[in-house]
Amino acid sequence: MTSFLLDLIKGSDAPRTVIVMDEDGMGHPRQYQLEPRRLLYIVGVAAGVLALLLVALIVFTPIRTLVLGPDPEELREAARVNVIRAAALEDSLALQNEYLERLRAAIIGDLEETEATESVDTVATPSEIPASEVDAPAAPRSDDWADHEQPALALGRLAADRRAGLSGPATEAYLASLQFPTMPPVEGFFARGFNAARGHYGIDKAVEEGTPVRAIGDGYVIFADWTNDGGYVIAVQHADGYLSVYKHNSRLLKRVGDRVRNREAVALSGNTGEITTGPHLHFELWRNGLAQDPRLYLVDL
């Protein structure tokens, strides 16, 4: 076979005649005209197409992970999301345990004694604090967490009320200032608090999926879209530099540019996005670019 192929490609410009005969020589011989150059061209094109198909199969299908291994960026992102989920689950479990303990104390009638005991036990003297906790504090998960330590900004007005002197349509067009403390966006179980050091710039309230999420005041919708971490997110700009953000919704009821009134439903709560451990609302309150602890601004928490 090797000698045949060598004879075939010698002098590839000249055509070749190939005679095919049966092994016993009894059949009628068959002749074929071949052009070695064209034959080599066809074989090369077929090999190239086959190679491209093989590369596409490896790159664009799950076979890629078997050949090249998992993507390091995907592994890092998965690890980051798992760490945040674990932290959220840890906080939720701690709060649920506290809630169950208080409920048990209320049922058996020793609530006051339990609260007094907790208030005494939670005050630790310097000698009771392990040296490892004093010498090696937990590393913050956010580089700028100190900027959001409470109070990030005082509740007092930073500038005079710009509505002074306005009258007529201008007064109606200007957004009314938020009145604090105000009602929370949803009624539900408090699941996780504000923790700037761990990158949690809001509070979580566990609510049944589909619960109306209400704006905390008059404002304009400046963002209403899907995000990978927060699912369906809507953000409302209020007066005096305040911005309220509502995450993990199942459905958005407003679009960018819509004006909303105080206590008007802007979304329906849900469980969307990568960073979620169950149906809940993640609520953030910002002022002039600094995160605020919503528990200082809301009632019934």
pLDDT tens per residue, range 178-224: 999 999 999 999 999 999 888 899 999 999 999 999 999 999 999 99
Q: Residue 238 sits in a domain of what CATH number?
A: 2.70.70.10
At position 275, the amino acid (one-letter code) is I
Q: What is the pLDDT of residue 187?
A: 92
Same domain, 253 and 236: yes
Q: Residue 290: left (phi > 0), alpha (psi -120 to 50), or beta?
A: beta
Tokens of 258: 């819509």
With respect to residue 154, please indicate whether it lies within any of the assigned structural domains: no
Distance between alpha carbon 235 and the CA centroid of its chain, in Å? 15
- Domain presence at residue 23: yes
Task: Say whether both 198 and 212 belong to one domain.
Answer: yes
Q: Which amino acid is at 157?
A: R
Domain count, the chain: 3
Token readout for 114 is: 């339990």
Residue 104 shares a structural domain with residue 49: no
CA 51 to chain centroid: 38
Statement to judge: residues 87 and 201 lie in one domain: no
Q: Residue 174: what pLDDT?
A: 66
The answer to whether position 273 is within a domain reads yes
CB distance 191 to 92 below 8 Å: yes
> Which residues are within 8 A (CB) of 79 and not within 5 positions of it... i.e. 6 or more apart?
none
Residues 240, 272: one domain? Answer: yes
Q: Which residues contact 216 (CB under 8 A, 6 or more apart)?
A: 178, 182, 183, 184, 185, 238, 244, 262, 285, 298
Given 86, 101, 123, the domain boundary residue is 123
Is there a single domain that holds both residue 231 and residue 263?
A: yes
Task: Examine the pLDDT at 67 and tell me if it is beyond 50.
Answer: yes
Give the DSSP letter of residue 186.
S
161-188 residue pLDDT tens: 333 333 344 434 568 889 999 999 999 9
Which of 279, 287, 222 lies closest to 247, judged by CA? Answer: 279
256 and 197 in a single domain? The answer is yes
Active site residues: 280
Single pTM value for the model: 0.53
Residue 89 pLDDT: 76
* 210 close to 249: Cβ distance less than 8 angstroms: no
Same domain for 182 and 292: yes
Residue-number span of the structural domain to which 60 is assigned: 2-67
* Structure-model confidence comparison of residues 79 and 290, the more confident one: 290
Q: 266 Cβ partners below 8 Å, 6+ apart?
A: 213, 214, 215, 221, 234, 236, 246, 252, 253, 254, 260
